[in-house]
Structure 1
Amino acid sequence: MNKYPQLFIKASLVYLVVGVSFGVAMSINPIFGARFSFVHIHTNLLGFMVMMIAGVSYHVLPRFSSRQLPWPNGVKFHFIFQNLGLLGMIVTYLMGYRETKIFLIFSSITAISLFIMVYNLFFVLFPNFNKDKKENNKNDHPHCEDGCCPEE
């Protein structure tokens, strides 16, 4: 398994432990529920779920589809930006900076990281998007020479 898909999966497990811990704390003391629900939700969804989906998708989809990611270096940026953005959102939220520019900056960094993931995975899943038919046949059947695949 490549470095970054593995890092995504490892990070997702750390976020799961943190998210579940916040959930347990919220159930023990209802006062925590109001204060930490944002942290609990975002840690579990953006931290655990999205990181796990990204790690597995980056590992599996290119192999199953026999297609490369259009921007392989984007995986590194996705990992860094998603962690930076999510951790920044959580810390600024806990410090009380919920409606400030710094919180917006971290939220935007998180969004950019997710757009990177969508870009990479979209073009693995839909390689023929916005290409002409002759190019599509060559890309779908790289082992074929010109004219060996029947026209659809």
Structure 2
Amino acid sequence: MHPRNRWFIVCSLLYAVIGGGFGAVQAIAPGLLPGAPARAHGHIMLLGFVAMMIYGVALHTLPRFANRPLYSERLANLQLWAANIGLVLLVVGWLGYWKAVLFTGGTIAWAAMAVFAYNILRSVSARPAEEEGG
């Protein structure tokens, strides 16, 4: 497995623990966290835990199912950074109610999703190597 895909999975599991912590804090001491912690929790769990796990597993398996290499390792590496930076900015934006930070984080996180979609579509929609000859 490519180290980047492992990083997606490691990040996913870290976000699961962090997101669970946010949920526990909200249950035990509501109002302790500033801003909109429920929205921060939701983004940590969905974009952090769920999406990062999907990214890591899909980048490894889907090209193999299509019998092709991943279209672009560089795009996947960019996606790893963009997904994490975007999520952190979203969480900070929700906790501080800073609309500019929210917008920036959301835009970066969305761009990571778009890069993922493009990279996977280019990887799986190409004809397998043994079919290209004729």
For structure 2, the 5+ residue unaligned runs are none
Between 1 and 2, higher relative CO (CA 8 Å, sep ≥ 6) is seen in 2
Residue 110 of structure 1 aligns to which amino acid in structure 2?
Answer: A
Correspondence for 2:10? 10
Which structure has the greater CA radius of gyration? 1
Question: For the structure 1 residues 143 and 43, does the alpha-carbon distance in structure 2 shift closer, same or farther, using more than 3 Å as the test?
Answer: same
CA distance in 1 between partners of 2:116 and 2:82 (Å): 11
Give matches, 1:1-152, under 5 Å. Answer: 1-31=1-31, 35-97=36-98, 99=99, 101-127=100-126, 139-140=127-128, 142-143=129-130, 146-147=133-134
CA distance in 1 between partners of 2:16 and 2:91 (Å): 14
Correspondence for 1:130? none
Cα distance per residue 1:37-84 (max 9 Å; x no partner): 011100000000000000001111122221122222101100000101
More helix by share: 2
TM-align CA RMSD: 2.0
Percent identity over the alignment is 30
Q: TM-score, normalised by structure 1?
A: 0.78
CA deviation after TM superposition for structure 1 residue 113, in Å: 0.6
Q: Is contact 2:92–2:101 with CA below 8 Å preserved after alignment?
A: no
For structure 1, the 5+ residue unaligned runs are 128-138, 148-152
Q: TM-score, normalised by structure 2?
A: 0.88
Residue 2 of structure 1 aligns to which amino acid in structure 2?
Answer: H
**Shift >3 Å, 4+ stretches:** 30-35, 143-147
